[in-house]
Structure 1
């Protein structure tokens, strides 16, 4: 079949993005693949360049070959995911960060402002004049040529410090909140020597443009026209561009960038880490679930207003499996299939991953985590890094971030990001 020029250009641009976002695996493909041990007939093992291997028998599966297979699958997952993200993009623009003013009255898309009690429990250094010691940056990063392509950032760090580059962590807020709500969390990490980055997800905070229904309006619009992916995936694109920006900053160690978030923000964090290996340590909070499992087991979906509108549009009397599946396929293609947690979690290996959920979270039942956790554990074992994976479901907790979760995630980041290089071969 003939390949048209536009298809060649698209494939080429996707390969460029995949390589840029996959620094660790880029070295792997350049070094490990060209000289793979093989068996040629009865002559015993030998090593030949990849391009010359024909009609040969592969050796028995070993730890090395399992690692290669795991990483090649991860690379293909990333390329496929990036192809999807690229399919609904506005034209790209130069990656420019512009200074902006602090937000005085941040927008919450709910009448009840979520409590910051758990965030305020995050360990801080004992700095009496912390407010005066903090350096605050308010920026807009351009990620694409569209209204939602201006990514608002709130970055906190200590003014005084060594000239060495510091570890950084990206923090993702939950649904209906904003980056300003994360301030207690950002301040705590900044006090301990991190560069702490908060941002507004799409259609939240500054990106809601003073509209309290911006998020649900965008979801319904996507359901009806299929032009954007406002549930998780569009913000993942922003996070890929953010990783590109952070690795170019003089104050950040590009090998020590973590990412965390809660609820919707935790999903965005986990998918961003699956898509981009520049996120070297990952802690999603109350967010990891099995979307396909939820459909098959009649778990009532969140985002009721979206699914109710879809039910009406489809002429259904109830929100059934068909409604849920059609909505996900429209607004986040692959979310309940090839990009679901059983496939996206394993590709994070061997980078440190700690999943913290509530044992009674109705949106993320433990039954839906059985397969994804088993596959993730296998991926970490196959890559020789079983100690880099951890899961905890806090007893008696529903869809709530607790102080113990905040402390556990803090310890996890300190363990890996303050020990130096977290890039794995």
Structure 2
């Protein structure tokens, strides 16, 4: 039987091979200064910020004046989408001590500017807080249908992976950049995200060990299980125009499990097979991982997590890090971000990334 480490190395090798298979030419890793976004692009109704505004923050009366803001573009590949927009907030500290960092990922149709209250809260507590626009979102969207159009194009042409995987490539390059920064402790970089952003955080951590603490919010699910048990509708409805186009192309009267499987295999190869949660969650061990979902979330049905969670717990036990894995499904909550999730994730990062605890 393979040890978790050996299995993790094989997983990462195969996953990286997939990411490289649909990649434009490589470019030098370079960050350029940019300007703040005045009118952020939303491709749907602007979601509520109530939950992220509840994030614990230090009581700093003049926080706005104390914040250092950086707007950057990081070059991750040669293609048009290879310019990764970053919003980085931190305190204007006099100390030169390296600080912990957390990367924050927005959900479908959102952008990094929506994350600002969350970024400010973490910056107030001594973190370097990094928000970014995922592929075809925010600054990387040229119209209100950019993400939808990219998904359909991927289905038709099979040359990009706009659902999860292309942004994971960006996050690998981002980790490379962050570990080179003089203000960040390269051993203390966390990642979290909401919904689609939770998927980004989960897969980025599976792909790159430089993300040392991981908290996916309302994103972790079993793609293969959902197909096999006809529980795919909630996830499909979140990007339904893609599946409607595939249905028409396949000559079907309605979307069924065959359509769903063919779409996943086309736009994100391996998502419902060798890279699915039963295989990707365990390779995050032994790094601290806290998964928070809603107990009644139709996009992330709990039945699809039985096997992945079992395998993850086994991996954490094998690496003698059982206490560094946690899963909570919040009772009665659907596909919704809650203040409880925000507070729990905040405590988790403080526990494993703050220096006083990190040095114990």
Instruction: Give the aligned partner of residue 169 of structure 1.
Output: 102
- Give the C-alpha shift of residue 420 in structure 1: 6.4
Unpaired runs of 5+ residues, structure 1, are 1-65
- The alignment status of 1:239 with 2:155, answered yes or no, reads no
Instruction: Give the aligned partner of residue 119 of structure 1.
Output: 52
Which consecutive aligned stretches of 4+ in structure 1 deviate over 6 angstroms post-superposition?
Answer: 420-423
Say if 2:85 and 2:133, in contact at 8 Å, map to a contact too: yes
Q: Which TM-score applies when normalising by structure 2?
A: 0.97
Q: Which secondary structure state, in structure 2, belongs to the residue aligned with residue 222 of structure 1?
A: helix
Instruction: Give the aligned partner of residue 307 of structure 2.
Output: 371
Matches within 5 A, 1:102-251: 102-110=36-44, 112-209=45-142, 211-251=143-183
Say if 1:232 and 1:268, in contact at 8 Å, map to a contact too: yes
Q: Which TM-score applies when normalising by structure 1?
A: 0.82
Give the distance between the partners of 2:58 and 2:107, measured in 1 at CA.
26
Give the distance between the partners of 1:367 and 1:405, measured in 2 at CA.
20
Greater radius of gyration (CA): 1
The number of residue pairs the alignment matches comes to 355
Instruction: Give the aligned partner of residue 223 of structure 2.
Output: 291
Q: Which secondary structure state, in structure 1, belongs to the residue aligned with residue 346 of structure 2?
A: helix
Give the distance between the partners of 1:370 and 1:148, measured in 2 at CA.
36
Change (3 A) 1:135 1:191: same
Say if 1:107 and 1:177, in contact at 8 Å, map to a contact too: yes
1:51-93: CA deviations, max 9, x gaps? xxxxxxxxxxxxxxx8x71100000000000000000000000
Give the distance between the partners of 2:352 and 2:113, measured in 1 at CA.
26
Cα RMSD (Å): 1.2
Say if 1:256 and 1:420, in contact at 8 Å, map to a contact too: no
Unpaired runs of 5+ residues, structure 2, are none
Aligned counterpart for 1:338 among listed residues 274, 296, 305: 274
Q: Which secondary structure state, in structure 2, belongs to the residue aligned with residue 310 of structure 1?
A: helix
Give the distance between the partners of 1:422 and 1:360, measured in 2 at CA.
35
Matches within 5 A, 1:390-409: 390-409=326-345
Give the distance between the partners of 1:76 and 1:161, measured in 2 at CA.
43
1:300-342: CA deviations, max 9, x gaps? 1231111111000100011111100000000000000000000
Instruction: Give the aligned partner of residue 258 of structure 2.
Output: 322
Give the distance between the partners of 2:300 and 2:178, measured in 1 at CA.
31
Say if 2:351 and 2:357, in contact at 8 Å, map to a contact too: no
Q: Which secondary structure state, in structure 2, belongs to the residue aligned with residue 151 of structure 1?
A: strand
Instruction: Give the aligned partner of residue 296 of structure 2.
Output: 360
